[in-house]
Chain A
C-alpha cells in the first residue's frame, strides 16, 4: 500500500512537471488541441454521414457505429495521455541520460512509461466520456453489459500498456522505436470501425494476432450483448498474458542494456 502511495505521489509530481513544461508553449498546445479536435469532429461527421446514408455499416446502425468510434477514441486518448513519455524514450537512451534514471531507487520502467502525462489530452477525455454515456444510454444495455464493457475497456488499456512496454523494451535493444510506435498507432486506428468490416485473413489477424479487435471492438460488442462468456474469458486471458510477456521482455532488455557511452 505504501508503495502505491509512493508511486502515485511521484506520478503527480512528474505530471505536474510535464504540465509546467508544456504550459510555456501555450501556442503549440493550442494548435495541437485544435488539430486533434478538428480531426475528431471531421471523422465523426464523416462516419455519421456515411452510415446514415448507407443505412448500415457491417450490420450496425449509425448510433452503434459511432459508439465503436467513440470507444476507440477513449482507449486511444487515455493511452496517449498516460504514455506520452514513450515517444521521448529514444533520445533518452541515445544520449545516455537513461543511465541516470536507472541509478535511482525509482522503478525505471515506471519512469519511462508514465513519466510524461500529456495534458492536452486531459481536455479531450471528458467530452468523449460524456458522449459515450449519452449515446450508450440510447442503446439500452443491461447492467451486466455495461459492467462487461467497462472491464473490457480496462482490459484494452492493459493491452495498450503491454504494447508500450514492449516498445520501450525494443527501444533499449534496437533504438528503432519511433516507427514501431507509429505502426502501432496505425494498426490501432483500424479499430475506428467495428472490425467486422475487414475481410479475412485481416480480420483474424486483427482479432487474435494484433489484438486490436479485443482491445477496441470487443468492449462495444459486449455492450451490445454480442459476446459470449467464452469470448470474455479469452479476452481477459489475452490481456493478462500479453502484459506478463511485455514485462518479461522489459526485464530481458534491461539485462541486455549496455549504454551508449565512451
Chain B
C-alpha cells in the first residue's frame, strides 16, 4: 500500500515539474467548456425556452457539471501507456514488483486530484463571471448515487483507455490513432458536448449498448435527479456490469498482447 502512496506523491510532484504543460491543459479545458457554455446559452437565450426536456437552468447546470466531472473522470496519465508499449519501454515495469495496472491507476488518481483542485477553482471563477443559474441537488440520496456513479465512471474510463492502448501490442506505430478515436467517442457519445437525451430515442437506445454514456452523461443525470430513484439504481447497476465486461476484455487482450509482444522479442 505504501509503495502506491509514494507513486501517488511522485506523480503529483511531476505534474508540478511540467507546470506549463499542466496549466496549458487546464486552459484548454476552460476554452472547451466556454465553447459549449456559450452554445447552449445562445440556444436558450429566450427566457422560458424549453427544449428536449431541458430548460436553461438545467442545461447550464449540465455544462457546469461537466467542468467538474470531466476533471474527475477524464483526467488521466494513463494515455502514456500506449506510447510506452509502442516504444517498448513498459518491459521495465514487468520486472518491478508493482502491478502495471495498479501503477497507472495510482498515477491517474494523482492526476485527478490535482485536476479536481483546479476544476473547483475554475468552476468558482466561471460561476462568478458567467453567473449561471445552477441547480443545486438537495436530495442526499441522489448525491450519494452521483458520487458512486463517478467512482464507477473512473473505473470504466480507465479500462477503456487500457483497452484502446492495447492496440500497439500488435501495431507499435498506432499508439496515437486508437486513443484519438477513444477521445472522439467519449466526447460525442459520452455526453461531453451535449446531454445525450436530446438525441432521438432510437439513437439513444443504440448508445445504451455502449459504455460511453456512463462516463459523463449518466452521472450528471443522476445528480440532476432526472432518473429518479429506480432509474438511478438501474443506471448504477448497468455501469457496474460494464466494469465487469470491460475488465474481462482488458485482461484477455493484454494477455494476448503480452504473448505477442514477447514473441516479437523487442
Contact = CB atoms under 8 A, between A and B. Distances in A.
**In their complex, do chains A and B touch, with some C-beta pair under 8 Å?**
yes
Interface of A: 25, 27-28, 31-32, 34-35, 38-39, 42-43, 46, 49-50, 53-54, 57-58, 176, 179, 182-183, 186-187, 189-190, 192-193, 196-199, 202
Interface in B179-208: 180-181, 184, 187-188, 193-194, 198-199
B27 interface: yes
B98 interface: no
A33 to B, nearest CB: 10
22 contacts: A27-B171, A28-B174, A31-B177, A32-B180, A35-B177, A35-B180, A42-B188, A49-B199, A50-B39, A50-B43, A53-B51, A54-B44, A57-B42, A183-B27, A183-B31, A187-B31, A189-B31, A190-B35, A193-B35, A193-B42, A197-B41, A202-B34
Contact of B28 (A53, A182, A196): A182
B106 to A, nearest CB: 26
Given A53-B51, A53-B52, A189 B43 contact: no
A155 B11 CA distance: 45
A182 B35 contact: no
A182 B26 CA distance: 12
Contacts of A35: 177, 180-181, 184
Contacts of B52: 53
A197 B178 CA distance: 33
A42 B184 contact: yes
Contacts of B184: 35, 38-39, 42
Contacts, number: 88
Contacts of B31: 183, 186-187, 189-190
Contacts of B176: 28
Nearest to A194: B42
Contacts of B35: 189-190, 192-193
From A25, A58, A183, A197, residue with most partner B Cβ within 10 Å: A197
List of 6 A-B pairs having minimum Cβ-Cβ separation, nearest first: A31-B177, A179-B24, A197-B42, A42-B188, A186-B31, A54-B43
B7 to A, nearest CB: 26
B32 interface: yes
Interface of B: 20-21, 24, 27-28, 31-32, 34-35, 38-39, 41-45, 49, 51-52, 171, 173-174, 176-178, 180-181, 184, 187-188, 193-194, 198-199
Contacts of B174: 27-28, 31
A242 to B, nearest CB: 21
Given A35-B180, A38-B184, A199 B38 contact: yes
B193 A46 contact: yes
A176 B38 contact: no
A182 B51 contact: no
Given A27-B171, A42-B184, A183-B28, A197 B177 contact: no
A195 to B, nearest CB: 9
A42 to B, nearest CB: 4
Contacts of A25: 173
Nearest to B35: A190
Given A35-B184, A58-B42, A187-B31, 6 more contacts: A31-B180, A43-B188, A183-B31, A190-B35, A193-B42, A202-B38
A205 B47 CA distance: 27
Nearest to A50: B43
Contacts of B199: 49
Contacts of B20: 176, 179
A25 B173 CA distance: 8
Contact of B177 (A32, A42, A183): A32
Given A27-B171, A31-B180, A42-B184, A182 B24 contact: yes
A160 to B, nearest CB: 18
Contact of A179 (B21, B39, B171): B21
